Amino acid sequence: MPQSYPENFLWGTATSAHQVEGNNINADLWAEEHAEGSPYRDYSGDAINHYQLYREDILLLAGLGLNSYRFSIEWARIEPEPGIYSSAEIGHYRDVLQACKENGITPVVTMHHFTSPRWLMRFGGWKNPQTADRFAQYCETVFSELGQDIPYVVTMNEANLPVLLKELFVNLDFMPPVGIDGAAWTAPGWREAAALRCGTTIDKYFTFHMASDEQSLPIVMDAHKKARTAIKALQPAAKVGLSLALPDVQSVAGGEAYAAGKWYDYFGQYKDAIAGDDFLGVQNYAREVYGPQGLIQTADTAEEITGMGTEFYPEALAGSIRRVASELTLPIMVTEHGIATEDDSQRIRFISRGLQGLEGCIADGIPVLGYMYWSAFDNFEWTFGYGPHFGVIAVNRDTQERHVKESAHLLGAIARRNTVRALS
């Protein structure tokens, strides 16, 4: 059988707790959804009820031929009040890990996927330096109970996302999940309502998505480093990293300086924080091209676009990985790569072409540990609600019935064969 990926390569899909579990009522972003005037298009509500259906879902993923599953443990469930840890919720995630083990699935666990406990906002959220210690203590508590069953851990999902959100707001008039610096977004009224729901005032309300300035960015990096230290003290064999959202940053003549600056913002400034990690999680969906006047809107002239209105460009995955590998010696894990589309044949082409590029990276000696497609299921996509469909598995939210798409069968077949070439 032809093989073009390393032996023991991790083939999987990814989810996050808030987006699939449902009823994450102690989280700050649940409060945002329900704040008066909130820009969220839907409430997350029951989501796809993965909190109760995780065993069936993991069995389904294993049946497709996948050998890994990336999911998050929800801080707001584990620690509903400061210093108070829920043994019931720890038991829940213990059984999720057990379900993975029973089905031959390697878990890749994310400790923070955007959501934080509501109570954290009372202490100033992610602009309070003590948040780094609080986050590390939460990680220590989880790993003291569950660490022996977690071989790979991502401390934070897309630690650089707040920086990207600011970029999108400036260039694309994008609606970020929370207000950011400048203009009318400094403190919209709905954020005041969200702060009230978290038991605090607007001056203390500072979610993870807002951590993009000189005060808060070091706190995020400090939280990652302290969490890594706590995890390694308990489970030295655990492979620890964080993930970064990394578009393939390109330039045309005259745009080189713009591109270099953006790559530093997205990646370069995080290099010191990840220097002691075991791997880097790379998350890629698109490219950014810069010219003499700044960002070029590639979607305006693209032959094909995605359901998010972005250019269809699966080759961006290989581009971003090659750029990272030129500056970093750590192994890489593709912790997210996906497309929102109603046309599953487009998703199939996106996956196939992306993986062909990834295969080329591996052939050139770049150490890649695994590939996690985003997402396992059509799920709650933050401010966009349930509209965008990224999943390889559809969900009827009236019945919670799962429907496996052809793209899921393709990904499973690739995983079984450990190659893309045999299927092309």
Give me the pLDDT at residue 422, please.
57
How far apart are the C-alpha atoms of 424 and 407, rounded to whole Å?
14
What are 117-148's pLDDT values in tens digits? 999 999 999 999 999 999 999 999 999 999 99
Q: Which two tokens stand for residue 205?
A: 């309300």
Residue 348 near residue 339 (C-beta atoms within 8 A):
no
Residue 173: pLDDT band (50, 70, 90) is: very low
Closest CA to 74 of 26, 38, 11, 129: 26
Tell which phi-psi region holds residue 27, choosing left (phi > 0), alpha (psi between -120 and 50) or beta.
beta
Quote the crossing angle between the two packed helices 256-266 and 161-172, to the nearest 10°: 140
**Mean pLDDT of the 82-87 span:** 98
Prediction pTM value = 0.95
**269 vs 182 pLDDT, higher one:** 269
Half-sphere exposure of 80 (CA within 13 A, CB side): 9
Active site residues: 158
Q: What mean pLDDT value characterizes the chain? A: 94
Q: Where are the alpha helices (H) located in 198-291, listed in sequence order?
A: 217-234, 256-266, 271-274
Superfamily of domain 10-423: Glycosidases (3.20.20.80)
Place of tokens 């589309």: 341
Contact yes or no for 230/136 (Cβ under 8 A): yes
Answer for the pair 272, 347: CB distance below 8 angstroms, yes or no. Answer: no
CA distance 378 to 207: 25
User: Hey, how many other C-beta atoms are within 10 angstroms of the C-beta on 84?
Assistant: 9
Q: Which segments within 206-261 are labelled E, that is strand?
A: 239-241, 243-245, 248-251
So what's the pLDDT on residue 187? Answer: 54
**Spatial contact of 105 and 65, defined as CB atoms under 8 Å apart:** no
Please say whether the beta carbons of 38 and 385 come within 8 A.
no
Tokens of 392: 């390889």
pLDDT the model gives residue 259: 98
State the Cα–Cα distance between residues 93 and 74, nearest whole angstrom: 9
